[in-house]
Every structure is written in structure tokens, then in C-alpha cells.
Amino acid sequence: TRRISLQKSPLQTIGEEQTQNPYTELLVLKAHHDIVRFLVQLDDYRFASAGDDGIVVVWNAQTGEKLLELNGHTQKITAIITFPSLESCEEKNQLILTASADRTVIVWDSDTGRQVQRISCFQSTVKCLTVLQRLDVWLSGGNDLCVWNRKLDLLCKTSHLSDTGISALVEIPKNCVVAAVGKELIIFRLVAPTEGSLEWDILEIKHLLDHQDNILSLINVNDLSFVTGSHIGELIIWDALDWTMQAYERNFWDPSPQLDTQQEIKLCQKSNDISIHHFTCDEENVFAAVGRGLYVYNLHMKRVIACQKTAHDSSVLHIAKLPNRQLISCSEDGSVRIWELREKQQLAAEPVPTGFFNMWGFGRVNKQASQPVKKQQENATSCSLELIGDLIGHSSSVEMFLYFEDHGLVTCSADHLIILWKNGERESGLRSLRLFQKLEENGDLYLAV
């Protein structure tokens, strides 16, 4: 039943019996009154949530207790990031930086909820924030790119880049950052003050114009490479040092001229189906959320080793790889699904999904793209993504989730809710532990001699 069929790709379902699903307890957290879009981990037990209502809420992931509510923004929050405290100065608390559509960035003390500072000199909405911890600076990306230090002094900024603004920003080696601006990738280099010059500076080094459409996702794979994904399903792996393409896949969308008009309409509707919303990766693989599907791209083999074309009913918004070969995905359909990457021995009889990218091709195989790939697959082990559980709770699109090793999973959604999913068995044990601790504190614990 879980075999991938080329003709049709029905949504894989799992019954009510989910023996491998550890999440048997949930706690609904309600504090927001609009879409909750961001979750950020503060430490081992705390996280912050933010969204369209402009408030930031700090939660205890263990108890679900609401710790702080940070009010300051007048419009929706567009980016949130934590600025870890420096090892050297211990008195400093961890900071939370939030950018909002009200064209401000507010710096918060994550322990007290105090508003440390508010920056409102922006010409445009800041859409992304990144911290370069090594240099102890942070960058804000809107229509231009600004560099700030911990004391919130503006160190330097670029000229106006584009009206659409920077959609994604990551740090790459050699004091460089890469910014996604529309279809373009721009490499900037930060010049830190040296003995020669006391000024910070930021230089545009290179423009990469290989994407055909807007870049939606950008992450670092490792120290040597980063990956980008575009609206029309182009996946490019770049060398982080010389900014050349290491791999390029753009066969997601293959608008065949033979398609009749009806199909073309269908295609247009489905164009969203191949946009790459999110990446996650481990040492071997890049996991991509492509439309409604999930794809696992192996970095060594340079090919897709497993996929779920219809992992969800609608677009997958966020994915994460857990240490135990598990992949979690959340989607606009309101569900969260837990997958396991299983190696399977390739059977000759079973047709391998040819060419990862033409699976969207309505049953037709793109010969050109698939031929070399198929050859590679023949003597390699392949993997499969097996659905081992789903979490049903949200009534609207699940925007993001956060995984705590000790406390379970936190999901946030357009239904204004945050849900804390926990391992019921473990929680039960912890409750017992606390119960006996309390008994002992009260002096009510009698142990048989």
C-alpha cells in the first residue's frame, strides 16, 4: 500500500494504530490571537513564539507554562532570532531579536522580557535576521543589508538592493554571507576593522544568476556547501568557497508543450506543488520539502534516494531531521507527520522511480533526465520514507515546529495555537518522580526498611 505508483500518488495514510508514534500526550497553548509563524528555541527548556499578532511569547517547554509575553511591535513579526550571550561577559542575558512589518527591530532580554532596545531607522521591513557569532555582529536584511554590533550600533550597510528585499540570508566561510534577493544570490563579504582601517565595511562580491525563479529557501549544508531552492523547483547545491554550482536539479517542473489546455490549467494550479519551501540536512542527505512531497537527496550519490511525492494534502512548510533517522514534516493541511528513512535493498523487479524530478510529469517519463540517473541507481541501495505516525491537532496550516530532545515537539499554526506534543510514557514517569520528590520534601515518604 505504501508503494509509490507512477500513475497516481495518493496521500499515504496511516491507521489509528501507530505503535511507533511516541507522542501520546498533548498540551494546547493559547496566547496568540493570530497566525503563529515562528518558534525559536532559547535554551534546553524554553522557546519563544511569534506571529502575525506582533507579540512574542516565551514558554516553558516542559510544563507548557507561559513565562513571558513581549509586547512592542504594532504589526506582524517577520523574523525572530536569538543572540546568544557571550562567554566572556556573563552578566549579559540571552537576547531575542525580532523584526516586524512596522519597520522596527526590537531587542529583548529573554530572561526578564525587558525591551533592551528598539531600532526604528529602517526604510523597509526587515525580512531576515542572522547572527555572525564569530564576529559578534548581527545582520538585518530588508531592501538593504545592515550590520550591527551587540551594542546595536550600525556598523555599515549596503546600498539599496531591491524592492522585493532579501528573502533569506546565511553565513558562509571567509566572513561572507549569501543573500537571496528575488532570483539572485548575492555574496557579500564583511570587512572587520583591522589595524589599517577602523571601519567596518560590507562588499558585494558576486551575483549568482542561475535560478530561473524566486529563491524560497537557502540553508547551509556544511562548511563547504549551501543549498538553494526556488519557486519552480530548482535545487542547486553551491560550493561555499568559490560559489560555483556543485549540483543542479531543475526537472521538477517540466512544462511539456504537448499538454492540452486543460492540463495546462491544472499545471498552473499545481505550480506551487514544486516550489521548494524548506530544506533540512544531515551529513549525508539534503531533505527538501517540495510542494506536497518530501525528497531525500544524497550528497555523495548526487541523486534522490527516497521520496514521498504526496507526503501531505498540501504544501509542506517545514521539515526537520531527528537524530534517529526520523524526519518530521508539517504542512498547510494542518497535520504533522513523522517519517522514518529506511534503507531497502533494491529489487530488480521493482521499478525505481525514474528521475526524481519528472515524477510530476503526469505519468510520462522525461527520458533525457532519467537515463543517467537510472543507471546510477541500478547497483545502489535505495531508501524509502515510511510514515510512522501523524499528529492531528491543529485545525489550520501548521507553520513551523521545534523539536526538544527532552520535552517533545512544539508546533505552531495559523489556528493561533501552539501544541506541545509529548511522550506520554516518559511524562508519566517524570510525574511520578516529581510526586515522590514532593512527598519527600513534605516528609511524607516512608520507605520500607
Positions in the binding site for other proteins (CB under 8 A): 15-19, 21, 24-28, 30, 64, 389, 392-395, 417, 419, 422, 424, 427-429, 431-436, 438-439, 443-447
Q: Would you say 212 and 227 are in contact if contact means Cβ atoms under 8 Å apart?
A: no
Cell of 110: 529573554
Beta bridge partners of 166: 181
- C-alpha Rg value of the chain to the nearest Å: 24
CB-based contacts of 191: which residues, under 8 Å, 6+ apart?
175, 197, 200, 201, 202, 203
Beta bridge partners of 262: none
CB-based contacts of 27: which residues, under 8 Å, 6+ apart?
64, 419, 420, 422
Cell of 398: 501548521
Exposure b/e, 199-219, CB count within 10 A at least 16 = b: ebebeeeeebebbebbbbbbe
CB-based contacts of 103: which residues, under 8 Å, 6+ apart?
120, 122, 123, 124, 125, 126
- Closest by CA to 415, choosing from 28, 34, 6, is 34
CB closer to other proteins out of 275 and 411: 411
